[in-house]
C-alpha cells in the first residue's frame, strides 16, 4: 500500500508498505478523509526527534477493513472515526483517569510518533473497540474527521478551564484548536468569550464559533486590552492555544485571582515555560494551571459525534483547502508557511 512518510527530519515522500494486520483486539481502517495538523509539521521538523520511514498523520475517518477476533463492537464496512490518541486502556495511567499518558508521558499518542500514522491506504488501530467510534448516519466524513483531534482537544481546553456558567474566558490564538476552545467555552456556558487573534479570517471564524470580543495583537498588548474590556478585573479563565511561553505568560496575567489557566498549546521550544511571579500572586493567588493532551476513546468520540448529529456546530468551516492523497505534500508545505490563509487542509483519499 501507499503511505506518506517522513524519511528523515525535514524530508517527506511516498513509500510502499505492507498492509497492516490487526492483532486480536485491533482493527485495520481504510481512510476516506484526513486532516493535516500543525503538530505533523512539528514532527517533520524534528520536534520529537529523528524518525525514519514513519507514516505521518493522526486525524482520520474511514471504513473498517478488517477486525481482530476479539473486537465485537465493529464490523467490516463500518464508517468510523479513529481517535488521534489511542490509549492503552488497561494501563495504570488510564486507570488513574489519564489515558492519554498511558504507560509513559504522552504515551497514548501513537500515530506518527511511535507507530505509523494515518496518511496511508490502510491504518492499524490498537484496542479498536475502545479507540474508534461509528459515525452516525446524518454526519458526513468531512464533519466527523474534526472530532478526532480538533474538537476533542479544543473542547478539553475549555473543560479544563472550569469556566463558571456566565463566566468570562480569554482564548489565546484562534487556530483550529483555539477556535474549538472558543466553541467549547460556549458549550460550557461562558458568558463572555474573548478571542485573541490577529488574522481576519480566524477572527471571523472565532465570532462564528462564539467569541463575544476579539482582541487583536496588532492593536497593542493583549493583556492591557483584556484588562480594559473587563474593567481591570481580568477573566475567570484563560486558554493557551498557541504553545509559546510568551502567550502562556499573558494567560497568567489576564486571569483573576482564583481563576484557571488551561494550557492546550504544544510548547515546542525553550528550556522553560515561564510563570510571571508577581501576577501569579507570588504563588498564592490561587491561579491554578491545568493541562491536557487530546482525550481519546470511543465514548468521547461518540459524544462529540452526537454534537455534530444534533447540529451544535459545523466544524467544516475551518477547512480552507482540500487536497487529494497524492497532493498531500503541498498541504504540508502550506501548513508550514501558513500561506494563503490556510487554517485546516482536508485530505481526500477517494
Closer to a second copy by Cβ: residue 120 or 128: 128
Write out the binding residues for a second copy, residues 224-253 only, by CB under 8 A: 240, 243, 245, 249
Angle of helix 176-187 relative to helix 150-160, nearest 10 degrees, comes to 50
List residues bridging with 322 in a β-sheet: 346
217, 211 Cβ separation under 8 angstroms: no
User: How many whole angstroms separate alpha carbon 232 and alpha carbon 226?
Assistant: 8
Residue 74 within binding range of a second copy, rule CB under 8 A: no
Write out the binding residues for a second copy, residues 122-181 only, by CB under 8 A: 127, 129-130, 155, 159, 164-168
Which one of 285, 316, 336, 348 is in contact with a second copy (CB under 8 A)? 285
Write out the binding residues for a second copy, residues 250-269 only, by CB under 8 A: 256-258, 263-269
Which one of 277, 338, 341, 350 is in contact with a second copy (CB under 8 A)? 277
User: How many whole angstroms separate alpha carbon 305 and alpha carbon 297?
Assistant: 12
Residue 99 within binding range of a second copy, rule CB under 8 A: yes
Residue 288 within binding range of a second copy, rule CB under 8 A: yes
Closer to a second copy by Cβ: residue 277 or 333: 277
E strand or H helix that includes residue 248: helix 245-254
179, 146 Cβ separation under 8 angstroms: no
Which one of 97, 231, 339, 340 is in contact with a second copy (CB under 8 A)? 97
**Nearest approach, Cβ of 248 to a second copy (angstroms)?**
8
Write out the binding residues for a second copy, residues 77-96 only, by CB under 8 A: 89-96
Residue 3 within binding range of a second copy, rule CB under 8 A: no
CA angle 309, 315, 318 (to 5 degrees): 165
Closer to a second copy by Cβ: residue 314 or 327: 314
Q: Which three cell numbers stand for residue 282?
A: 507570588
Write out the binding residues for a second copy, residues 323-342 only, by CB under 8 A: none
- The per-residue b/e assignment along 265-295, b for 16 or more CB within 10 angstroms, e otherwise, is bbbeeeeebebeeebbeeeebebebbebbbb
E strand or H helix that includes residue 192: strand 192-196
Write out the binding residues for a second copy, residues 182-201 only, by CB under 8 A: 184, 187-189, 191-192
**Nearest approach, Cβ of 348 to a second copy (angstroms)?**
26
Closer to a second copy by Cβ: residue 216 or 302: 302
**Nearest approach, Cβ of 326 to a second copy (angstroms)?**
32
Which one of 304, 318, 331, 342 is in contact with a second copy (CB under 8 A)? 304
Residue 38 within binding range of a second copy, rule CB under 8 A: no
Binding characters for a second copy, 307-326, by CB under 8 A (x = yes): x-xx-x--------------
138, 309 Cβ separation under 8 angstroms: yes
CA atoms within 13 A on the CB side of 192: 12
**Nearest approach, Cβ of 54 to a second copy (angstroms)?**
19
Report DSSP state, residue 64: E
115, 58 Cβ separation under 8 angstroms: no
User: How many whole angstroms separate alpha carbon 148 and alpha carbon 320?
Assistant: 18
Write out the binding residues for a second copy, residues 52-71 only, by CB under 8 A: 70
Amino acid at each position: 500500500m501507499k503511505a506518506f512518510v517522513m524519511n528523515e527530519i525535514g524530508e517527506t515522500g511516498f513509500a510502499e508498505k505492507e498492509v497492516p494486520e490487526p492483532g486480536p483486539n485491533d482493527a485495520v481502517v481504510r481512510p476516506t478523509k484526513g486532516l493535516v495538523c500543525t503538530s505533523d509539521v512539528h514532527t517533520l521538523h524534528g520536534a520529537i526527534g529523528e524518525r525514519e520511514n514513519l507514516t505521518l498523520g493522526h486525524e482520520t475517518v474511514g471504513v473498517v477493513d478488517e477486525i481482530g477476533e476479539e473486537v465485537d463492537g465493529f464490523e467490516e464496512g463500518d464508517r468510523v472515526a479513529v481517535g488521534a490518541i489511542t490509549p492503552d486502556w488497561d494501563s495504570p495511567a488510564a486507570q488513574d483517569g489519564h489515558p492519554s499518558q498511558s504507560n509513559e508521558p504522552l504515551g497514548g499518542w501513537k500515530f506518527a510518533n511511535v507507530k505509523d500514522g494515518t496518511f496511508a491506504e490502510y491504518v492499524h488501530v490498537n484496542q479498536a473497540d475502545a479507540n474508534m467510534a461509528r459515525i452516525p448516519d446524518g454526519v458526513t466524513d468531512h464533519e466527523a474527521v474534526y472530532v478526532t483531534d480538533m474538537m476533542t482537544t479544543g473542547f478539553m481546553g475549555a473543560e479544563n478551564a472550569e469556566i463558571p456558567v456566565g463566566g468570562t474566558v480569554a482564548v489565546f490564538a484562534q487556530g483550529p484548536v483555539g477556535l474549538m476552545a472558543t466553541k467549547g467555552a460556549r458549550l460550557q456556558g461562558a458568558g463572555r468569550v474573548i478571542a485573541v487573534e490577529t488574522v481576519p479570517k480566524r477572527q471571523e471564524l472565532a465570532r462564528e464559533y462564539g467569541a463575544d470580543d476579539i482582541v487583536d495583537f496588532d492593536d497593542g498588548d493583549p493583556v492591557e486590552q483584556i484588562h480594559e474590556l473587563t474593567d481591570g478585573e481580568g477573566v475567570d479563565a484563560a486558554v493557551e492555544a498557541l504553545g509559546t511561553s510568551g502567550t502562556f505568560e499573558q494567560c497568567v496575567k489576564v486571569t483573576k485571582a482564583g481563576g484557571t489557566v488551561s494550557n492546550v498549546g504544544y510548547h515546542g521550544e525553550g528550556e522553560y515555560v515561564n510563570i510571571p511571579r508577581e501576577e501569579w500572586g507570588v504563588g498564592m493567588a490561587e491561579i491554578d494551571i491545568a493541562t491536557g493532551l487530546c482525550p481519546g476513546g470511543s465514548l468521547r468520540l461518540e459524544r462529540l459525534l452526537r454534537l455534530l448529529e444534533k447540529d451544535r456546530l459545523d466544524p467544516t468551516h475551518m477547512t480552507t483547502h482540500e487536497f487529494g492523497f497524492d497532493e498531500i505534500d503541498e498541504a504540508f508545505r502550506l501548513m508550514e508557511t501558513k500561506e494563503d490563509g490556510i487554517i485546516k487542509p482536508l485530505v481526500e483519499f477517494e
